[in-house]
Amino acid sequence: MLRFVRCLPSASIRSHRICISPRTPPLQSLRTLQTQAKMSYPPIEPFETGQLKVSDIHTLYYEISGNKDGNPVVFVHGKFPYLSSSKPDVDWDAGGPGGGTDVKDRTFFNPEKYKIILFDQRGAGKSTPSASLEENTTWDLVKDIERLREKLGVEKWHVFGGSWVQSLYFLSPSWFSLIVHPGFHAFVSVRSGDTLSMGMEVITHPDKLDPSRKSQDSCHSWYFHTAEEVYFSPLLWPTSPHPDLLMLSELRFFYQDGASHLFPEAWDEYIAPVPENERDDMMKAYHKLLTSSDEATQIRAAKAWSKWEMATSKLFVDPSLLHHAEEDKFALAFARIENHYFVNEGFMRDGQLLEKQSIDKIRHIPTVIVQGRYDVVCPATTAYALKKVFPEATLQIVPDAGHSSRETGTLKLLVEATDKFADI
């Protein structure tokens, strides 16, 4: 039976423990484990959908489901683009910029207690124009989240997300709580009016930052108030294929030299579109291909980039993910936008989110970090680094999970987390 060590400290208790969940019996099948663990809530349909124009170029899709009078929670997606309900058996995960929301993202929350808000970021999912890189930076996305909150008349909300989302949450000023995944996950509570600092600038004024100054704002993918990274309130989430804290070492490990030693056959397919003399900087080489004037070149590169992540995101490779990585629309949005953010170092300086001035802004918030031991997209080293500078947080490592938030151990903890904070 799959068991977990519960290490959720109360708001008044600061924990310095690192908890490692008991290992799952190796001969049990993944399907058996899924029936034993508490899974997500049943599928539901939104009671409201809409469009929010955020610039002369971009219009965002958003939807609301669950309880109209419930506790507001906003789901901030990662990399994976939106997949329609016509693909109910595909376990897509939120990853980083370029992704979109999925119908299953509504099921992390109790629909009787939560007012569930989902939206597709610039260029992703149902937002338009698809796969656009113009006016698409970390700071643009942070401002979009605030625009959506104001449009919906929400004073404070819980934020849930994974992977890349962590970066956005550290920068947004009005979260009540946070849950993140891919890499490590946590749930954070931020009261309206609190401000979070990214080190050099105050996040409440992202418009005052110069997006061209990568040294000032280069981060990776960080989903606070979401899953799979760190959350401000005690919530859980898994690790993401995109360095949630946008550490350059993570990018190098996954896209250049590291994960390649564990997945050599998938790596060969990943490097295939890139000429041998350009493979010393794979992200830069892919950026050239993904922004090529030749559409066929873009599509071929996008599929290879997407397939690499799909092949490495779960402890057990999911064939359905590999299949959908071959779909043109999905691959283009996913690969183009993700690569755009990573080649620009998240539009933040390396390690910015781990700096003392950033952590001090959230140090008082009870935080639980959930990390997949075998996450190669967002390795456990980042979660551990966060724990070292944020000792008040509790770090939980799932011994038999990778990067996906839908792997049994991670999913179970995430749903438990949202249940715990449903009445806050």
Active-site residue list: 163, 375, 403
- Measured CA to CA, the distance from residue 422 to residue 297 in angstroms comes to 47
Radius of gyration of the chain (CA): 19
DSSP-H helix ranges across 152-294:
165-171, 248-255, 264-271, 282-290
Q: Which of 69, 62, 140, 90 lies closest to 346 in space, CA to CA?
A: 140
Q: Quick one: tokens of 20?
A: 């490692």
d(CA 272, CA 374): 25
CA distance 230 to 227: 7
Phi, psi (rounded to 5 degrees) for 148? -65, -45
The 3 state secondary structure assigned to 318-337 is: CHHHHHHCCCHHHHHHHHHH
Q: What are the backbone angles phi and psi of residue 52, rounded to the nearest 5°?
A: -125, 115
Distance CA 139, CA 162 (A): 18
The helix/strand/coil state of 355 is coil
* Cβ(225)–Cβ(355) below 8 Å: no
Residue 21 near residue 236 (C-beta atoms within 8 A): no
- CA nearest to 112, candidates 156, 163, 59, 69: 69
Q: Contact 421/210 with Cβ under 8 angstroms?
A: no
For residues 260 and 278, give the distance between their C-alpha atoms in angstroms, rounded to a whole number: 17
Strands (E), 99-195: 114-119, 157-161, 175-179, 183-184
Q: Taken in order 313, 413, 161, 342, is the CA torsion positive or negative? A: negative
